[in-house]
Structure 1
C-alpha cells in the first residue's frame, strides 16, 4: 500500500493573502477522490521548515512586511532548500512566495529584501500595480487562468510557467508569466490558483508522486464544475476585452 503524500504549507499564518489554503484543499481533495491519502503539514512562523521531510511544498503570498519575516526565517536553511530544489523537490510558490525564490525583492524605497536565491531572478517594485484577470498558455497544462494583483516586476532567465494571452504576467512587458525550473512552479496567478486549473493541479500532484517514489499514475476526474468556472472566466474575459476595444 502506498504511503501518504507529504504536503507542506509554509507559514499559513503569514502567507495566506490570496486564499492559498484553497490550493492545499484542492491538492488534498484531488488525491482523496482517487483513493489516495495526503498528509498536510502546516508549518507556522514559530517552526523550522525541513525540506527533506516533504514531497510537495506550497509557499503562498503575503504583504511586504510578512515577506521580510519569512525571508529571514527561510534563509537560515537556504542551503538545505537549494539542495532540495536541485534534487527535484516540487515547490509551488504564489505571488509573494514566488518573489522570495529569487535574489531579492526591491521595495519602493530602494530597500532590498533578500530572497532564497534558489533562482536567477529579481523583483523590483513598480507602479502602477498590475491588477486584473490573467490567462496564460502553458506547454504542459494548456490554458491557465486566474487573477493577478502585484506591484513587483519580476525578471528571470528561466523558462516561464506560460506565455501571456491576457493580462500582465511577470512584469507587463516581456509576455511571460511565472517560472518553471526543475520541479519549481512560481506564479503571480492566485484567487486561488488550483481550483480553476485542474490540469495544473494534477500535473503538480503527479510530479510530487513521482518525486516521492509513489508508483501511481493519476487517472482523469470528472471536472465539470472546474470547467464551468473556467468557461465563466473566459466569457467574462472576452466580454471585458470587447468593452475595452469599444471604449474611446
Structure 2
C-alpha cells in the first residue's frame, strides 16, 4: 500500500501542529505581508488512522505551503475543544472498535459538521469516517452505529472483505488510484449525494454490485481509497486546498517561489509514477 510518492513526500515533510485552543482563533483576511492561514482539522487521528491515511494530512500541508499558504493542522480527538475556524476537514479509516469509540463525540459535533458541509467546506472522508458521515453503519454482527447524515448513504457489514488495488474513474479528477480494504457495503440514496466515481470490476467499490465508488455532496468527498490516496492523486489534494482558499480569501491565489514550483513539479512526477505502478498492480 506504500508507494514511491508516499515515502518520498513523507521524508520531506515536518508537520506543523496547533492544538485546538487559542491557536485556532479566526484570523482576519491576510494582506500581502501576512501569512495566509488555512485551518485544517484532522478528525480523530488517535482512533481513525489506518492504512496510511495520515499521509493525506501531510500531503495537503506540504502542497499548501508550496503554494504560499500557512496551513495549521488541528488534531481533533474526543473531548478536545473545537477550533473556532475550520477551512478543511480530513478524516481517516478505522476498525469497528475505533468507530464505536468516537460515535458519541462525533454526534456532539454533528451540527458543526453539517453547517460546514452546507457552507461548502472541503472534506475528505476515508472508509470508516465515510461510513459514519452517512446515515448508519451496521456491523456484520448486526450492531448498528448511527451516523451523522452529512452524506445520504447507508452501510451494512458483510463477512467478505473487498481488498485490493482500485482505480476510481471520476468526472472531475480523472482516474484516482488507491487501495480498498473494507467489509461494509455502502449504498447511496440520492437527495444531493452522488457517486464520486465508478469502478470496472465486480466485487469492488462501494458495495461490489453497482460499480460505484465513494460519494460526493457539495465539497464533501467520501471514499474507500486508502494508500494513502492524496500523495498519488495531487489533483484531489489541490482541489481541497483551492476550495478552502476560495472560501476563506475569496480566491485561490497560489504564490509558489521558483524553488517551490520545482518541488511541486517533482512531487507531481513522483505521484504520476506511483499512480501508474499502483494502477497496474493486480487486485
TM-score, shorter chain, exceeding 0.5: yes
Cross-structure match for 2:141: 109
Segments of 5+ residues of structure 2 without an aligned counterpart are: 1-31
Name the SS for the 2:100 alignment partner: helix
Q: 1:194 aligns with which of 219, 230, 244?
A: 230
Of 180, 197, 203, 1:162 maps to 197
Counterpart pick for 1:140 among 151, 161, 172: 172
Displaced runs of 4 or more, over 2 A: 213-221, 234-237
Residue among 117, 123, 135 paired with 1:91: 123
Do structure 1's residue 34 and structure 2's residue 67 form an aligned pair?
Answer: yes
Confirm whether residue 229 of structure 1 aligns to residue 274 of structure 2: yes
Equivalent position of 2:242 in the other structure: 206
CA distance in 1, matches of 2:281, 2:227: 15
Asked whether 1:122 is paired with 2:122, we answer no
Cα offset, 1:140, TM superposition: 0.7
* Structure 1 counterpart of 2:183: 151
Q: How far, CA to CA, are the matches of 1:74 and 1:131 in structure 2?
A: 27
1:55-84 Cα offsets, whole Å, 9 max, x none, are 001111111111112111010232222122
Do the aligned residues in 1 keep the contact of 2:56 with 2:231 (CA within 8 Å)?
yes
Structure 1: tracts of 5 or more residues without a match: 241-248
What is the rounded CA distance, in whole Å, between the counterparts of 1:47 and 1:72 in structure 2? 13
**Displacement after TM superposition at 1:214 (Å):** 4.9
8 Å Cα contact 1:90-1:211 kept in structure 2: no
1:244 alignment counterpart: none
The two structures have a TM-score, normalised by structure 1, of: 0.90
- Pairwise CA RMSD: 1.8
Question: What per-residue deviation string (whole Å, max 9, x for no partner) do you get for residues 124-143 of structure 1?
Answer: 00131000000011111110
Report the counterpart of residue 245 of structure 1 in structure 2. Answer: none
TM-score (norm: length of structure 2): 0.79
Is the CA contact (8 Å cut-off) linking 2:140 and 2:159 kept in structure 1?
A: no
Give the number of equivalent residue pairs. Answer: 237
Indicate conservation of the 8 Å contact 1:27/1:201, yes or no.
yes
* Aligned-partner SS, 1:53: coil
**Helix, strand or coil: the match of 1:30?**
helix
Tell me if the contact between 1:8 and 1:54 (Cα under 8 Å) persists in the aligned partners: yes
Q: Structure 1: how far apart are the matches of 2:116 and 2:221?
A: 14
User: Is residue 44 of structure 1 aligned with residue 77 of structure 2?
Assistant: yes
Which region of structure 1 is more displaced relative to structure 2, 184-193 or 35-44? 35-44
SS for the counterpart of 2:278 is helix
Whether the 8 Å CA contact 2:48–2:92 is kept in 1: the answer is yes
User: In structure 1, how many angstroms separate the alpha carbons of the residues matched to 2:212 and 2:82?
Assistant: 30
Query: Per the alignment, in what secondary structure is the counterpart of residue 137 of structure 2?
Result: strand
